[in-house]
Amino acid sequence: MSYDDYLAGDPVVITAALTGGVHGKEASPHLPETPEEIADAAEACEAAGASVVHLHARRENGERSFSRERFQELTDAVRERTDLIVQHSTGGTGAPDDIRHEPLRTDPAPDMASLDMGPLNRYQHLTSENTRGLVESLAEEMRERGIKPEMEVFNGGHLNEVHELLDRRPDLLEEPIYTTLIFGGGTTAMPTPDTFRSLVNHLPRGAQFNTLGFGQHQLPFGAMGIVFGGHVRVGLEDNRYFRQGELATNAQLVERAATLAETLQRPVATPDDAREILDI
């Protein structure tokens, strides 16, 4: 993808990451936790311009859940209320490999699922390993169930892993390859324009990319994603604020991304547009 792709004026796919699996209402009263709250947020985000919803399930006490049953309840609620593309998270710290597969096993299967492409440092004493064996086994089950992988690239090494998986197991990934480039602190890519350009320039040929900036980086990196022909992920999982000191809602963040895309003369993709762009 490049500036030429921006000039072509293709639609922008906006993904809404509504809740995540770490912080809860102690961080923001706007962060949804129950299936009903998440479905409410998804409906509002669809009206604001989202075409994909990235979902984490939670237990009744608000803690993260990998349970197939909790994902089923959540997905049913969202699908009853919206036409959004449903994307389940398979990421997690400290969870056994078999549990990481559970979000893939709802009936019907999610349209998409995240696939973390390598290890991540989490907090002071935790690491998300994401071994090649786990990544491959998740990709295999996604392929079997007709789920589109959203390959999460937290740094340049993870982009190496995308190329490595394509070389070693091209049977697992159908074109267009879809990656999310992630910028911020810690194990994520350094949030600089040079890093952004480098990652975009080294994507697999023909890949679509989604841009994710944590916290204050959500807005500028979303703008860069739009200008370089990519797509955008926003939402309270990644950023709680609309501006400094002002908490946001998920719908506000989606609406701002949609306004930015339209201002930059790229139309906002509907769910049907996104299905065609991503071949879902």
Neighbours of 189 (CB within 10 A): 23
Span 173-231, pLDDT tens digits: 999 999 999 999 989 999 999 999 999 999 999 999 999 999 999 999 999 999 999 99
Domain holding 72: CATH number? Answer: 3.20.20.70
User: So what's the pLDDT on residue 1?
Assistant: 67
- CA 257: distance to chain centroid? 15
Q: What is the mean pLDDT of residues 109-132?
A: 89
- What percentage of the chain exceeds 90 in pLDDT? 85
pLDDT digits (tens, 9 = 90+) for 232-246: 999 999 999 999 999
Does the global pTM surpass 0.85? yes
On the question of pLDDT at 10 being above 80, the answer is yes
HEC-encoded secondary structure of 139-193 = HHHHHHHCCEEEEEECCHHHHHHHHHHHHHCHHHCCCCCEEEEEECCCCCECCCH
pLDDT value of residue 93: 75
Give the count of domains, the chain: 1
Q: Report CA torsion sign: 270, 148, 224, 27.
A: positive
Q: Which domain holds residue 80?
A: 3-278
pLDDT tier for residue 124 given thresholds of 50, 70 and 90: confident
Q: What percent of the chain has pLDDT over 70?
A: 99
The pLDDT mean for the chain works out to: 94
Residue 101 has pLDDT above 70, yes or no: yes
pLDDT at 94 over 90: no
pLDDT at site 152: 98
Is-contact 196 183, C-beta < 8 A? yes
> What pLDDT score does 197 carry?
96
Give per-residue pLDDT as tens, 43-73. 999 999 999 999 999 998 888 899 999 999 9
Residues contacting residue 70 through CB under 8 Å, at least 6 positions apart: 57, 58, 59
Burial (Cβ within 10 Å: 0-12, 13-18, ≥19) of residue 124: exposed
